[in-house]
């Protein structure tokens, strides 16, 4: 799950933020949290926690715990677990009434602050240890006055003349009155602490001046040196005081800007949500019939993909459709609004009675798919640089929408709309079909680059054919002919040349047969029944977009056959059906693919694919890693 990934990313961290992840229970997290020896602060706010495990001794080193925003109705369901956290000093928890708060405070005598309020008897310890939170600052305390008096006594000890005790007492009284007024006027705890530190500085300056007068009685020169040192020290403190005040001012200005941006973003989101959903575009009947025909006809063996020399060689990628449960990322965002076993594709969104289900048009879905692809590429690069495991495409779709909207309901709503759009438009568009199969971990992510290469190769082969057919034309004229064919259509000689070059004899024959059926479907009145009539001057042109779709669909079907045995094997060990396995599952798959592998070879393979020991290995990574085994499986 996402929470465990965040924890495992840095087991030496002093604080862990698990807020807003929809966590229902931390029972499965206490063990891994217990492996963090430096952990002091744990933020579990705004989740779905209604209780804590009775045994939280694994969290005995946690000093600060935030449980604000969780549906904890009965505090007795968290008390036992909190008692097991021996080092807990600061607790934030939403309570229903004062009685619950009092019960918590009495049951946890080691607490120093509760919901930002300094508890009785904790002010002195918190201040002297320097560990009090900014939200629990107690202002000027008797301990502050005692510390200043102790400094004055040390400064005037062994003085020849009686110390100015009355003068000091009067000065201390006036400083205390002044700082008390300033602290009361400040709402920011950091500002309050700053005023107290300034009061200490004034008392330090007073003691320093007394010391300078005593030194001057013995030596005027030494007295001047002490006075100069005092002046320089006070100047530095004044400059530092001005610095932190400017920093506080800039911080407040930044916070104000962020709040304004947040209000504006919320307003824009509310405006978008109030707009009616865009109607889905009409489907193309011919395309739908074509897609249905392709799916019904079983393509011949030997699927291929573009190789280095321009021809097509078998590639990895594809798997058959199966029932799925939510991925770990989907669970993280949708756990609060789904029931166990509910598919991610059909989550129960908040306020369904008042919100119309979002529907994406074909254009909107295509743009979103490209944006998610681009975001995934950047995110994968950041994961490599940060030494973090990759996400599956489904996980990253939720990451993408969360970064875009920042609201859980909107994230789930848009992700659901994408999944429904994929179901609607996959028969019409190969790009969307590939994206849907990647989401369901039926095709590895790298396969989309193979499809891009197929498109490029088709255009290059068309240019080469037209260049050979028109040797006297310039490159600009040939480019114009290519563009004309792309916009208009392909003659039989053109598409036959491309198919024959890209595929082996068996695949080429199958594709040619399918294309002729498509031409008959598009132009039934021509009664095209023979190759001779097709080669006549009146033979219909094959639309370029249909030709591209034919080859891409053929390529995708071949990938599905190619990976079908591996997909079956992978799903055997992918218990959650989320496209992620751990190291133990990887070992089992490696041995199943090649029973002759030794344990040492398998361990070396595991260290190569999961060098960080994250225990998170995706389907796409396995397809790339086991490519040689997959080719061998196909050959056998």
Tens-digit pLDDT profile for residues 413-425: 999 999 999 999 9
Burial (Cβ within 10 Å: 0-12, 13-18, ≥19) of residue 464: middle
> Of the spans 20-29, 313-322, 395-404, which averages the highest pLDDT?
395-404
Largest Cα–Cα distance in the chain? Answer: 127
The average pLDDT across 253-259 equals: 76
443 has pLDDT over 90:
yes
Instruction: Report d(CA 617, CA 611) in Å as an integer.
Output: 11
358 torsion bin: left (phi>0), alpha (psi -120 to 50), beta (else): beta
* Confidence (pLDDT) at 274: 66
Better-predicted residue by pLDDT, 275 or 330: 275
> Closest by alpha carbon to 347, among 279, 272, 411?
411
The average pLDDT across 238-263 equals: 75
pLDDT band at 131 (very low <50, low <70, confident <90, very high): very low
366 has pLDDT over 80:
yes
This prediction has a pTM of: 0.47
User: What long-range pairs does 213-221 form, CB within 8 A, spacing at least 24?
Assistant: 214/156, 214/159, 214/160, 214/161, 217/160, 217/161
Better-predicted residue by pLDDT, 276 or 16: 16
* Confidence (pLDDT) at 71: 85
The average pLDDT across 266-278 equals: 65
The average pLDDT across 57-62 equals: 84
Q: Produce one character per residue of 34-70: b if its CB has 16 or more CB atoms within 10 Å, e if not.
A: bebeebbbbbbbbbebebbbeebebbebbbbbbbbbb
pLDDT band at 81 (very low <50, low <70, confident <90, very high): confident
User: What long-range pairs does 66-75 form, CB within 8 A, spacing at least 24?
Assistant: 66/19, 66/41, 66/42, 66/92, 67/91, 67/92, 67/93, 67/94, 68/92, 68/93, 68/94, 69/19, 69/45, 69/94, 70/44, 70/45, 70/46, 70/94, 75/100, 75/103, 75/104
* Confidence (pLDDT) at 291: 39
Tens-digit pLDDT profile for residues 492-550: 899 999 999 999 988 889 888 888 887 777 666 554 444 444 444 456 788 898 899 98
**Other beta carbons within 10 Å of 483:** 10
Instruction: Report d(CA 293, CA 450) in Å as an integer.
Output: 23
Rg (CA), the chain: 36
Placement of tokens 């300094």 in the chain: 118
* Confidence (pLDDT) at 227: 79
- Which helix (H) or strand (E) segment is 92 a member of? strand 90-92
Q: Indicate the average pLDDT of the chain.
A: 77
486 has pLDDT over 80:
yes
Tens-digit pLDDT profile for residues 314-363: 333 333 333 334 444 444 444 433 333 333 343 433 444 445 678 899 99
Instruction: Report d(CA 628, CA 636) in Å as an integer.
Output: 12
Tens-digit pLDDT profile for residues 136-192: 466 788 888 888 888 888 877 776 667 777 888 888 888 888 877 777 766 677 777
Q: What percentage of the chain has pLDDT greater than the value 90?
A: 25
Better-predicted residue by pLDDT, 251 or 288: 251
Q: What residues contact residue 128 under an 8 Å CB cut-off, 6+ apart?
A: 143
Tens-digit pLDDT profile for residues 193-205: 888 888 888 888 8
* Confidence (pLDDT) at 372: 95
Instruction: Report d(CA 302, CA 261) in Å as an integer.
Output: 56
* Confidence (pLDDT) at 79: 86
pLDDT band at 603 (very low <50, low <70, confident <90, very high): very high
* Confidence (pLDDT) at 523: 64
């Amino acid at each position: 799950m996402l929470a465990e990934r965040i924890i495992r990313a840095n087991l030496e961290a002093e604080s862990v933020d698990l807020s807003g992840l929809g966590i229902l229970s931390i029972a499965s997290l206490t063990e891994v949290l217990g492996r963090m020896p430096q952990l002091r602060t744990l933020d579990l706010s705004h989740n779905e926690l209604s209780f804590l495990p009775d045994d939280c001794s694994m969290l005995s080193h946690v000093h600060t715990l935030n449980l604000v925003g969780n549906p904890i109705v009965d505090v007795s369901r968290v008390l036992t677990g909190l008692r097991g956290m021996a080092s807990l000093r600061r607790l934030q928890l939403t309570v229903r009434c004062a009685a619950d708060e009092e019960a918590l405070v009495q049951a946890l005598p080691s607490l120093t602050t509760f919901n930002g309020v300094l508890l009785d008897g904790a002010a002195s310890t918190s201040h002297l240890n320097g560990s009090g939170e900014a939200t629990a600052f107690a202002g000027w305390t008797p301990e502050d006055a005692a510390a200043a008096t102790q400094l004055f006594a040390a400064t005037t000890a062994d003085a020849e003349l009686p110390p100015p005790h009355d003068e000091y007492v009067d000065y201390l009284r006036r400083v205390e009155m002044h700082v008390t007024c300033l602290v009361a006027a400040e709402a920011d705890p950091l500002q309050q602490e700053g005023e107290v530190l300034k009061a200490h500085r004034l008392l330090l300056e007073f003691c320093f001046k007394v010391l300078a007068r005593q030194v001057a009685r013995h030596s005027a020169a030494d007295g001047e040196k002490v006075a100069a040192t005092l002046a320089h020290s006070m100047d530095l403190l004044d400059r530092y005081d001005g610095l932190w005040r400017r920093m506080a001012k800039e911080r407040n200005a930044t916070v104000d800007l962020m709040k304004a941006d947040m209000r504006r973003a919320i307003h824009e989101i509310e405006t978008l949500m109030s707009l009616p959903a865009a109607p889905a575009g009409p489907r193309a009947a011919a395309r739908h019939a074509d897609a249905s025909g392709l799916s019904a006809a079983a393509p011949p063996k030997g699927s291929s993909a573009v190789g280095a020399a321009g021809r097509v060689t078998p590639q990895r990628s594809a798997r058959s459709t199966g029932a799925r449960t939510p991925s770990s990322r989907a669970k993280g965002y949708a756990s609060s609004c789904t029931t166990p076993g509910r598919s991610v594709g059909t989550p129960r969104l908040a306020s369904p009675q008042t919100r119309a289900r979002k529907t994406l048009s074909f254009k909107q879905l295509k743009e979103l798919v490209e944006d998610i692809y681009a975001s995934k590429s950047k995110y994968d690069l950041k994961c490599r640089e940060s030494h973090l495991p990759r996400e599956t495409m489904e996980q990253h779709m939720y990451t993408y929408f969360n970064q875009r909207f920042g609201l859980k309901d909107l994230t789930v709503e848009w992700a659901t709309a994408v999944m429904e759009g994929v179901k609607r438009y996959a028969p019409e568009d190969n790009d969307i079909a590939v994206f849907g199969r990647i989401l369901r971990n039926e095709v590895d992510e790298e396969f989309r680059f193979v499809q891009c290469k197929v498109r490029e190769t088709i255009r290059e082969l068309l240019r080469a054919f037209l260049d050979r057919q028109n040797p006297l034309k310039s490159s600009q004229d040939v480019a114009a002919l290519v563009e004309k064919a792309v916009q208009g259509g392909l003659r039989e000689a053109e598409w036959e040349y491309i198919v024959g070059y890209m595929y082996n004899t068996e695949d080429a024959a199958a594709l040619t047969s399918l294309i002729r059926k498509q031409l008959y479907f598009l132009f039934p009145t021509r009664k095209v029944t023979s190759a001779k009539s097709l080669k006549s001057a009146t033979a219909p042109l094959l639309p370029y977009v249909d030709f591209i779709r034919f080859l891409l669909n053929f390529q995708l079907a071949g990938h599905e056959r190619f990976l079908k045995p591996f997909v079956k094997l992978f799903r055997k060990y992918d218990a959650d059906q989320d496209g992620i396995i751990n190291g133990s599952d990887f070992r089992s798959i490696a041995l199943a693919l090649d029973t002759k592998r030794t344990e040492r070879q398998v361990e070396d393979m595991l260290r190569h694919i999961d060098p960080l020991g994250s225990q998170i290995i995706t389907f796409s990574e396995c397809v790339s890693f086991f490519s040689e085994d997959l080719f061998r499986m196909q050959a056998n």
